[in-house]
Structures are given as C-alpha cells and as structure tokens.
A and B are shown apart, each in its own frame.
Chain A
Amino acid sequence: MTSMTRLTDRELARKSIEYRRDALRVIMHAGAGHTGGSLSCLDILNVLYNRVLRISPANWHDLTRDRYVQSKGHSVEALYVVLADKGFFPREAIDTLCQYRSPFIGHPTRKVPGIEMNTGGLGHGLPICVGMAIAAQRDATGTRVFTLLGDGELAEGSNWEGAMAAPHQRLDNLTAIVDHNRLQITGPTREVCSNEPLDAKFAAFGWCVRQVDGHDLVALERAFTEPGPEGVPVCVIADTIKGRGVSFMEGVLKWHHGVPSPEEFARAEAEFERRLAAWEASP
C-alpha cells in the first residue's frame, strides 16, 4: 500500500498514465463506462488521493478524516481505479463491473469500500458536501471536504443552492472542483446551455475561484492546498480535455460513453506504452 508514502512528482506523473490505462481496461472489460469523463478527471483524482486527501483504508472509520464526494458519479471507473490503487479493495474486484450482483456498478455506491455517498443523479454532491463541511466546521475537526462536479452538471439548479449556501456558512474547509471539459452528451456545453463565464459565476456567489490546467499536477496540487481567504470556500475550475490521454478520444463527443473496439483498444494500449516508455526515459 502506497498511501502513507509521498510520491515524487515523477512517480505521480506515472500514476496518471497507469490510471488512464487501467480505467480504459476496466471499461473495455465491462463493455460499458463513461470513458471521456473518466479520462478527463484522472489527474484531479491522482492529485487528490496521492497528495491532498487524508483518506485511506486505515482511517476510513475516523469521523475526522477528509471527505471526497464525486458528484459527477458517471465517471466512476476513474474512481474505482484510484481506490483500488489506494488499497480499498483488490484491483481484480473491479472486473465484476456491471455484472449481476456486483457492487461495482456504473455510479458510486457505498457498498464499495472507499466510496463516501451514492451519487449518479447530477446536482447532488455540492449540497451534500456543504452539509459535511458544516459538520466538520461545527466540531472543528480539521476535516477538508472536496467534491468533483461536471461542467455539464452545473445546469442542475441544486448546485447553485449549494453554491449560495457555502460562502454564507463560511465554509473554508470546502473545495468544489469543476471538471471543465466543456463537452456533455449532446455536444459542447456552450451550445447545449452555456454556463460561462463559470469563474465569474462562482466569484459572484462569493467563492475563491482558481482556474488551472486540469492536467498540470503541480498546479492542481497548489490549487487544492493553498489556503484561501478565511471563511471563503474554494472553487477550482480545472480546464480539462475530455478523453485525455488517448489521442483519438481527446475532445471527441462520441467517447462520452463510447467503448473502444478491439482495434481502438489496441491503439490506445500502444499509446499508453509509448507514454510509459517516454516516462522511463525522462529525468
């Protein structure tokens, strides 16, 4: 289990490649999954679970640990891969994804160790996390609470109820991360129902907004760990690319929940091999 040792920046970079390769393998094996969004959020999950969150199998029953709620629940394959790597369950367990009676279904459920709340309906994570952050604030536990929102998800009005409440409650222990990949199932979010300018919206609601390259591990860590103003929740808008890491999937709509053909899968595997070789050769 690697959860106790801090990875070097170089090791962290390798994790991102391995996680992406594994998420695609999971989806291929199951014949189903939300490919594009899993690939877009994996650098975020990598930094959270390997650098930021005080969450591990060892402290899971400690009420004062940190919390992570994946509001964009459909990108659960990415979360399964990271939780397996953190030692919450054996990697082989994920191979039951979507099979009869498997707890590994297409959205997060608490039947899977390491999963905080059952999500899947969009617009639920932020209000839940406001509640978690209030609990931590009232008891001064030092708990930090993170949620990952999809940018298409932000059309759900309940997000904005949560967004209004968090600064009012002075929840500086709360970080909302937007996986800003700009694509949803129907098309570009700007064309479906634009939520731009996102930064100005969260700022107007009273959040400390940080817009970063959602694939820059160092920038993500800084955005998640640098203290914001006292009493102000932090919104990290992570600019990402849907399908990130597989050249022919990047920014292509059909990979929202597309499953690769055997030929496409082989091409993707070859790309991951090349990336890993390049990583080996890098200083």
Chain B
Amino acid sequence: MSAPAPSMYSPAARSVAQRLGLTMGRANLEAFADTLLELARDDRRVMAVTSDSRGSGKLGPFGQALPDQLVEVGIAEQNLVGIAAGLAACGKKPFATSPACFLAARALEQVKNDICYSDVPAVVVGISAGVSYGALGSTHHSLHDIAALRAIHNIAIVAPADNAETRDAVRAAAASARPVYLRFGKAAMYDLPAGDGPPFTLGRSRRLREGRDAALISTGETVIHAVLAAALLAGEGIACRVLSMPTIRPLDEEAVRAAGRECGLVLTVEEHSIHGGLGEACAAVLMQGGVAVPFAIVGLPDVDTVTGSQADIFRHYGITMEGLADRVRSMRR
C-alpha cells in the first residue's frame, strides 16, 4: 500500500476551517466539467476540445452525453488550440482543455495568434495548473502561464478559488465574446465564505474578510490559505482583509489600491512564479497609484522547484495558513 497523500492542511488549519464553518467541496475541475455539461446541454455551440485529456479534465461524462459537441485531437496541443480557434471562428464556443503546463508553453503561439490576435471567442482551459502535478516534476508544473498570458494582449486570465467561483467563471467565459483563459487545480477545495461584495464578475475581486491591519490578495487554490491565515491572525488581534482575485486580467485595480491605502500592508499569494503573476501585477498597480506600503509576494520562488506533492510544495514555500500568518507577522514588526 502506498502512503496516504499528505494533507494540504495541518490539523490546526483544519480546526480553523471548522471554526469558520467551511465545508470541503470538490475539485474545481469537477465543478468546471459539470458546469460545462450543463451549458452545453442548453447551447449546442458550446464544445469541449480535448488532447487525450478527457479523463484528467473530468470530461468523460461530457463526451458520453454530448459526443457531437466534443472533439478529441490526441496528444497535440498546438492542434488543440488551432482547432479551437477554427471552431470559434465558425460560431462555436470551444473550451480547449489541456494541462496548463502544455497549453501555455507548447501551444502558446497558437493561443497568441490563433485566438488572441485573431480575436475569436475561444476559451483556453489550463487544468492541473501550478504544482497540481507536484511529484511529476517541472515538465508538468505551470508556474509561467499567468506571466506568459499577461504579456499577450486580449485574453482574460481567470483562476477560481472554489467551486462557486468556478461555476461562475465557466458561465462568464461561455458568455464572453473575447478570449478567456481559465486555470484550475485538481485538489478538492473548501467552499469559501460568500464575502460581502457583489457575486463573481469578470474583472472584480471578492472581499472574503474585512480588516484594516493587513491585506491578503490571493488567487486560485491559494485563497483558502489566505482565509485561514486571516482567521488565525484575527485571534491575535490582527484584522486582515482577504481579497479573492479570480480575475488576474482584467485586474480589479481599484480594489488593489484601496487595499494598500486602507490596510497599509499588502501580501499577495499565488500558485505561480513570483515573476509575472498576480503579485507583480498588484505591485505595478500600487507603485503607479502612488501607494507605497510594505508589500511582499508569496509564490514559487525563482529556484529549481522542490519535488513532492502539491501539499509538500506549498508547505515548503510557505503557502499555508501558518506560512502566510508568519509573513504578515514579520512584515508588521
């Protein structure tokens, strides 16, 4: 028997989650697949395009229910994206689904030219993003996808934090007349608190906790750790604002500036290289907005990434409740 997979959450983190009343949902990938099938049943223009990624994309049921709306291209990511662009140019709404590591590297030119530059309404779905495939090594990590796509004009970049954000993001992507990149992990995610702002909107952050001592701005599968860290710090009298930033582009710049102005300390968190991702996007907004406050980026540093599971890697680089709480405490000293 193999050893049980290490948990993403320490016993302390689990008890904080329990205290917050958070319940464990499913993988965002599963919420994506279910939502896509619902959309496709109602609109036959919605299609799934897969590169031998039907299983890993949880799109097996889609293929069984709606075979005419699924295109399997085999292990050929350039072809996957080119075909999706062609479908979109002919009135279809394709969701080209493949591991993020391949989509944003091998097929990057097709994303740039065939989808973004040609401006067709295709959706590029990067699955098992970040270090979801932790132990498979750097070939399968995508720590560059957000950076690469941020430098390419005309594509929204969306990394949902939980199942609810995922469902909303998939619907928003289907309704978008412009290219969209969706980024998902494959771990089961806690359902996050609803927050006090408007529901999910492309280009808007969601405020999950309010506080004025520090702001934690995070995206994708790291948001839960920011929520738990804020809850932990609240017990120490440190009130943190937590922003879920599902849309990295267009970025909710006003929320970033307000976080800096009103909280006086900003920590960004992402499952991506510290170069070119959410953190540097926020840094640019703060600097150019004249908001000079203590600021730090938590993500994957510019080193040969340590091996292990996603949980191991998160722990190694401090993307945990404990790690983030430590960063906030040290920044306040």
Contacts and interface: CB of A to CB of B under 8 A. Distances in A.
Do A and B associate with each other? yes
Interface of A: 63, 67, 109-110, 116-121, 123-124, 126-136, 138, 143, 157-158, 161-162, 164-165, 168-169
A65 to B, nearest CB: 10
Cβ-closest 9 pairs across A and B:
A131-B86, A127-B82, A161-B79, A131-B83, A135-B90, A161-B76, A132-B86, A128-B86, A158-B78
A120 B114 CA distance: 10
Q: How large is the interface on B (under 10, 10 to 19, 20 to 34, 35 or more residues)?
A: 20 to 34
Interface string B35-79: 000000000000000000000000000000000110101101011
Contacts of A110: 118-119
Contact of A165 (B69, B83, B92): B83
A135 B83 CA distance: 10
Interface of B: 68-69, 71, 73-74, 76, 78-79, 81-92, 94, 109-110, 113-114, 117-120
A225 B181 CA distance: 39
Contacts of A161: 73, 76, 78-79, 82
Contact of A63 (B84, B90, B118): B90
A124 B110 contact: yes
Contacts of A126: 82
Nearest to A120: B113
Contact of A117 (B71, B79, B85, B87): B85
Contacts of A138: 68-69
Nearest to A65: B90
12 contacts: A117-B86, A118-B113, A121-B113, A128-B85, A128-B86, A131-B84, A131-B90, A135-B92, A161-B73, A161-B78, A165-B74, A169-B71
Given A118-B117, A120-B113, A121-B109, A135 B86 contact: yes
A134 B86 contact: yes
B118 A135 contact: no
Given A117-B114, A161-B73, A164-B76, 5 more contacts: A117-B89, A124-B113, A127-B82, A127-B86, A165-B76
A132 B86 CA distance: 4
Contacts of B73: 161, 165
Contact of B90 (A119, A132, A169): A132
Contact of A134 (B71, B74, B76, B110): B71
A126 B73 CA distance: 13
B91 A63 contact: yes
A128 B119 contact: no
A174 to B, nearest CB: 10
Interface SS of chain B: helix
**Is the contact region of chain A dominated by helix, strand, or loop, or is it mixed?**
helix
Contacts of B110: 124, 127, 158
Contacts of A128: 82-83, 85-86, 89, 114
A127 B79 CA distance: 5
Contacts of A130: 79, 82-83, 86
A151 to B, nearest CB: 20
A165 B79 contact: yes
A282 to B, nearest CB: 41
A165 B117 CA distance: 24
A128 B122 CA distance: 12
Contact of B82 (A116, A136, A158): A158
Contacts of A129: 86
Given A63-B90, A131-B84, A162 B118 contact: no
Nearest to A168: B74
Contacts of A134: 71, 83, 86-87
Contacts of A132: 86-87, 89-90
Nearest to A116: B89
Contacts of B119: 110
Nearest to A131: B86
Nearest to B122: A131
For B74, B83, B86, the residue with the greatest tally of chain A CB atoms inside 10 Å of its CB is B86
A169 B49 CA distance: 13
A135 B76 contact: no
A117 B86 CA distance: 9
B268 to A, nearest CB: 34
A127 B113 contact: no
B39 to A, nearest CB: 17
B107 to A, nearest CB: 9
A162 B71 CA distance: 13
Scoring A110, A127, A165, A169 by chain B CB atoms within 10 A of each residue's CB, the highest score goes to: A127
Nearest to A133: B86
A162 B68 contact: no
Contacts of B82: 124, 126-128, 130-131, 158, 161-162
